[in-house]
Amino acid sequence: MAWPTWSLLVGALAVDHRHLIGDRWPLAGSPKETVKAWLSEILRQQPFWALLGVVLGFLLGEGSRLIREWWRLKRLRVALEQELRSIQTQIPQKIDVINQMRESASQRRILPGLSVAIADTIYRNHDVKLYPRLTLLERNCLHVIYERLAIADKVLSTFEQDVRTAISEGLINDPFVAYHERLGELLESYDVVQTLIRSYLARNPIDVFEVGAAETCRTL
């Protein structure tokens, strides 16, 4: 930075802090020497160092807080990705259960769909905290992933009761055919979820709602 600019800066500082250095304005033969004299005078004042200590303390405290918050959100994001990988290992088990249920339905028998629920602890408990760190496409992608999984778990958990109710109350002409088709839709839904998870983990989330938030986004 050129000396004339420094001269204006320090001169403004000196005027603004006249109460610190009083009326002792050292003058010198050149702007450079005058600036040095003013700096020397300001640095000798105790209030200047007290003010500097307050400013530095604030910056260090705020900086430390921001770093901790950044690190916490980063860990949450990593935990979410690990949860999605865990879901990837669960889906084949769900598909196997559904295939067995469809086989039973085709034989006009009822096989309960109770199974271990899909892991969603990180997403359900920390989605509000994570959202500021996610793009619009990532948020939409995660929303569809977890909502489809929740619907599938609900259908499977109530499958036996729903079929028995449909039979006893005559709500559907042929419940076994209807629920066989419904289970087929769940298989398709799991295929979609697997595709979405892969896209999210690859940092290339599918634009599920076609919002066009990025030129390079993909659509389902």
Each residue's pLDDT tens digit, 39-96: 666 666 656 556 666 666 766 666 766 676 767 888 899 999 999 999 999 999 999 9
* Band of pLDDT at residue 10, cut at 50, 70 and 90: very low
Does the pLDDT of residue 36 top 90, yes or no? Answer: no
Instruction: Specify the pLDDT at position 123.
Output: 93
Long-range contacts: 184-192, Cβ < 8 Å, 24+?
184/102, 186/98, 186/152, 186/155, 186/156, 187/95, 187/98, 187/99, 189/148, 189/151, 189/152, 190/91, 190/94, 190/95, 190/98, 190/148, 190/152, 192/144, 192/148, 192/220
Q: Give the pLDDT mean for 184-196.
A: 97
User: Tokens 């930075």 — which residue?
Assistant: 1
Each residue's pLDDT tens digit, 120-171: 999 999 877 788 889 999 999 999 999 999 999 999 999 999 999 999 998 7
Query: Residue 201: what residue type?
Result: L
The tally of CA atoms less than 13 A away on the side-chain side of residue 195 is 13
Residue 189 in 3-state DSSP? helix
Domains of the chain: which residue ranges? 3-44, 81-219
Instruction: Specify the pLDDT at position 114.
Output: 87
Instruction: Specify the pLDDT at position 133.
Output: 83
Strands in the chain per DSSP E: 206-207, 218-219
CA 189 → CA 53, 124, 139, 193, distances in Å?
60, 20, 19, 6
Does the pLDDT of residue 7 top 50, yes or no? Answer: no
Instruction: Specify the pLDDT at position 52.
Output: 64
